[in-house]
């Protein structure tokens, strides 16, 4: 079973429309839609925004629906000048950019007493997601690299620069590391697929709704294509 998580209803609505829904189940104020999409058994769910919602959602997918693979789809802010609005980022790993126990000698981003700093995505899944991206959105650039997550919408040059300096990620969002962290603890595979909706700086709000719509359409096309390759 494959769990597909989007933070916002807009991000999962198009996928839910395309699937054959067999059952819907509510838990932790989240509605889990179980069924078949592109020939694969999936559960699609809107987690809500932020890492806590994302982590809870991922755990339910593993415990109750026996998910062996988690796909997180949605939008993100670009942290690299070469990655433009509408481009795709596929995670090689994810981390919590807002975890800070430096007072105790841990590097910024490291969860104290955990052995890893970042959570690596499944290599096979990453390869397939890149393939799917190139097929689904041939005119759009696909990048693979680190995703940084935190419980903050980044819309300031200063905060953005600090995240880049600390972690060198390609994009920033608010759920991926929560899902990656849960996948790591449960020993299931995961990948984060994000379409860029903004530049995570002062320009973030200008045309955000338009870019958001386009970015969501790109992610949805990619996820459907990926399911045919898994």
Contact 64, 27 (CB under 8 A): yes
- What is the rounded CA–CA span in Å between residue 211 and residue 207? 6
The nearest distance, CB 34 to ligand ADE, in angstroms, is 27
The nearest distance, CB 23 to ligand ADE, in angstroms, is 30
x/- track of binding to ligand ADE for residues 173-202 (CB under 6 A): xx----------------------xx-x--
Q: Closest Cα to residue 73, out of 116, 125, 123?
A: 125
x/- track of binding to ligand ADE for residues 36-75 (CB under 6 A): ---------------------------------------x
Closer Cβ to ligand ADE, 3 or 6, answer by number: 6
Q: Is 198 a catalytic residue?
A: yes
Question: Using the rule CB under 6 A, is 15 a contact of ligand ADE?
Answer: no
Q: Is 173 a catalytic residue?
A: no
- The residue annotated as part of the active site, out of 175, 198, 212, 225, is 198
Helix (H) or strand (E) holding 128: helix 123-136
Among 3, 6, 48, 77, the residue binding ligand ADE under the rule CB under 6 A is 77
Question: Using the rule CB under 6 A, is 204 a contact of ligand ADE?
Answer: yes
Quick one: how far is CA 61 from the chain centroid?
15
The nearest distance, CB 155 to ligand ADE, in angstroms, is 6
Instruction: Point out which residues bind ligand ADE (CB under 6 A).
Output: 75-77, 153-155, 172-174, 197-198, 200, 204
């Amino acid at each position: 079973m494959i769990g597909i998580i989007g933070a916002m209803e807009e991000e999962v609505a198009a996928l839910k429309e395309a699937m054959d829904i067999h059952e819907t189940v509510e838990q932790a104020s989240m509605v889990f839609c179980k069924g078949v999409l592109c020939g694969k058994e999936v559960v699609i769910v809107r987690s809500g925004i932020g890492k806590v919602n994302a982590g809870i959602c991922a755990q339910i997918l593993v415990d109750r629906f026996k998910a062996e693979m988690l796909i997180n789809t949605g939008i993100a802010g670009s942290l690299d000048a070469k990655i433009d609005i509408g481009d795709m980022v596929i995670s090689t790993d994810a981390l919590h950019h807002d975890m800070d126990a430096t007072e105790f000698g841990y590097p910024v981003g490291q969860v104290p007493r955990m052995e890893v700093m970042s959570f690596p995505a499944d290599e096979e899944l990453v390869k397939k997601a890149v393939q799917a991206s190139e097929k689904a959105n041939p005119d759009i650039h696909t990048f693979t690299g680190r995703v940084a997550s935190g419980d903050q919408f980044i819309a300031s040059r200063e905060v953005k620069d600090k995240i880049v300096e600390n972690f060198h990620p390609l994009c920033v969002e608010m759920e991926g590391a929560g899902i990656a962290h849960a996948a790591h603890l449960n020993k299931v595979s995961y990948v984060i697929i994000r379409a860029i909706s903004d530049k995570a700086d002062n320009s973030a709000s200008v045309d955000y709704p338009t870019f958001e719509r386009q970015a969501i359409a790109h992610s949805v096309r990619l996820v459907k294509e990926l399911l045919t390759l898994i």
